[in-house]
Amino acid sequence: GESVGLHLPTLSVQEGDNSIINCAYSNSASDYFIWYKQESGKGPQFIIDIRSNMDKRQGQRVTVLLNKTVKHLSLQIAATQPGDSAVYFCAERVLTGGGNKLTFGTGTQLKVEL
Amino acid sequence: GAGVSQSPRYKVAKRGQDVALRCDPISGHVSLFWYQQALGQGPEFLTYFQNEAQLDKSGLPSDRFFAERPEGSVSTLKIQRTQQEDSAVYLCASSLHRGISNTIYFGEGSWLTVV
């Protein structure tokens, strides 16, 4: 079946470096993607989203890149800080019929080393 | 309220016991979702409401799981005759409208442990 998945389960970076978290998706019908951050013991927190008719979108210290040719999504975090340590999920949003479903990947643990 | 509120935050149930998990969505949000998150995994879709109508319950794992939103605001997820495999975090989320670009906001979750 269709799925959204991540290449790297754990990513360790030095404080101040840039982080890149990758995600592969397989549902070619998806037209909307979201990155969520989940800290230990908390619910997922929205970071940034992108539509399939875009290839790049920037937020505050974060950039999402979408490559539809290879069905690849990435999240770039500039000047990574200790507070960025968390699990990051990519997700696709699908509207089918009367449904409204968000499908998550398995997540990447980002560890920021001082 | 300022965010999605869930209660209880933590619940320990004996196998076979029924549990009820409550969700208060952000005020005015039409869409409400329930997700199940096992340890170390991403959230898995359970069900979706638009106002009081349950439009998608394709993710409910068995007929022991039941969700309702009778007045289009507060929602309850009920699990009957709990089993150990039901142990997970149950996340509630809401969005203002059904539109695809409407941000989905999550609560902190209800942590269920079945012993």
Which residues of chain A neighbour B93 with C-beta distances below 8 Å?
A: 43, 102
pLDDT of residue B28: 93
Look up the domain containing B90 and give its range.
5-114
Which residues of chain B neighbour A104 with C-beta distances below 8 Å?
A: 42-44
pLDDT of residue A98: 59
Handedness of CA A5, B86, B76, B7 (dihedral sign): negative
Amino acid (1-letter code) at residue B42: G
Contact flag A43-B44 (C-beta cutoff 8 Å)? no
- pLDDT, mean of residues B8-22: 98
Q: What percent of chain B has pLDDT over 70?
A: 98
pLDDT of residue B99: 74
DSSP A1-16: ---EE-S-SEEEEETT
Contact flag A102-B104 (C-beta cutoff 8 Å)? yes
- What band does B114 get if pLDDT is binned at 50, 70 and 90? very high
How does DSSP classify residue B103?
P
A96 C-beta neighbours (distance < 10 Å), count: 10
pLDDT beyond 60 at B10: yes
Q: Measured between CB atoms, does A45 come within 8 Å of chain B?
A: yes
Which residues of chain A neighbour B35 with C-beta distances below 8 Å?
A: 102
Name, in order, each residue with C-beta under 8 angstroms of B99's C-beta and a sequence gap of 6 or more: none
A5 C-beta neighbours (distance < 10 Å), count: 15
Handedness of CA B21, A91, A44, A49 (dihedral sign): negative
Contact flag B58-A99 (C-beta cutoff 8 Å)? yes
Number of domains in chain A: 1
CA distance A81 to chain B (A): 23
CATH code at A75? 2.60.40.10
Residue A34 CA to chain centroid, in angstroms? 6
Look up the domain containing A97 and give its range.
4-113
pLDDT, greater one: A103 or B108: B108
Nearest CA in chain A to B109: A43
State pLDDT tens for residues B60-74.
999 999 999 999 999
- pLDDT, mean of residues A18-33: 88
State pLDDT tens for residues A40-82.
999 999 999 999 899 999 999 999 999 999 999 999 999 999 9
- pLDDT, mean of residues A83-93: 94
| 3-state SS record for A57-93 | EECCCEEEEEECCCCEEEEEECCCCHHHCEEEEEEEE
- pLDDT, mean of residues B27-45: 93
pLDDT of residue A105: 82
CATH code at B62? 2.60.40.10
pLDDT beyond 70 at A8: no
- pLDDT, mean of residues B5-32: 97
Structure-block tokens of residue B24: 């208060």
- Backbone conformation region of residue A107, classed left if phi is above 0, alpha if psi is from -120 to 50, else beta: left
- pLDDT, mean of residues A81-87: 96
Number of domains in chain B: 1
Which residues of chain B neighbour A5 with C-beta distances below 8 Å?
A: none
pLDDT of residue A31: 79
